[in-house]
Amino acid sequence: MGAVSRASNRNRLCYPDDPPRAAALGTFRAVERPVLKPDSPAPAVAIVARLPAFELWIAFLFSIVPHAAGLFAGGYGQIITNAPLAVIVTIVDVVALVIAYLQFREDSHAKRAPHWLVWATIAVGAIWLIYAVFVGALLLLGQLFCINQDCRGPIR
C-alpha cells in the first residue's frame, strides 16, 4: 500500500498545472489581428469615404458642357465667336475645375490618392479652358493692335 500511495503522491505533487500531452497538441494559439489605429476609420466608413462626392459628379458633368455645346453648335469656333455663350461656357468650365481642384487638395491633405473622377474632370475641363484662353487672347490682341478690318477705315 505504501508504493501505491507514494506514486499517487508523486503524480499529484509533480507538475500539477501541466495539461495532458494530447490536449496540448490539439489546441491552437489564438491568431492575433493587427491592431487598428485609433484614428483609422472603420472598414465600412473607409469604403464609403472613397466614393466620389456628389459635387464631383456634377463638376464632371459641368466640364462636359463645352464639349456638348461644341458638338451641337457645330464646333468650338461657333461657341467662341458668340461672346455671351463663350463666357457662360467658360464660367461653367472654371467652376467644374475649381471643384475638382478642391477635391484634389482635400485628398492630398488626407494623404490619399485622388479619385479617378478628379483627374477626368481636370482633363476634360482643361481642354476647353486652354482653347478659350488661347483663342480669346488672339481675339483680344487682334482688337488691341487693330489687325482686322473692323477697327480701321477702308483701304483706298
End-to-end CA distance of the chain: 144
Whether the pTM exceeds 0.75: the reply is: no
What phi and psi values does residue 60 have, to the nearest 5 degrees?
-65, -40
pLDDT tens digits in sequence order for the chain, 156 residues long: 556 555 555 555 555 565 556 555 555 556 666 655 556 555 555 555 567 778 899 999 999 988 998 899 888 888 888 888 889 999 999 999 999 999 999 989 988 888 899 999 999 999 999 999 998 898 888 888 877 766 766 666
Q: For residues 31 and 33, give the distance between their C-alpha atoms in angstroms, rounded to a whole number.
A: 7
The answer to whether 63 and 96 have CB atoms below 8 angstroms apart is yes
The structural domains of the chain, with segments of one domain joined by +, span: 52-144
* CA distance readout (Å), 90 to 12, 47, 51, 69, 74: 91, 34, 28, 11, 17
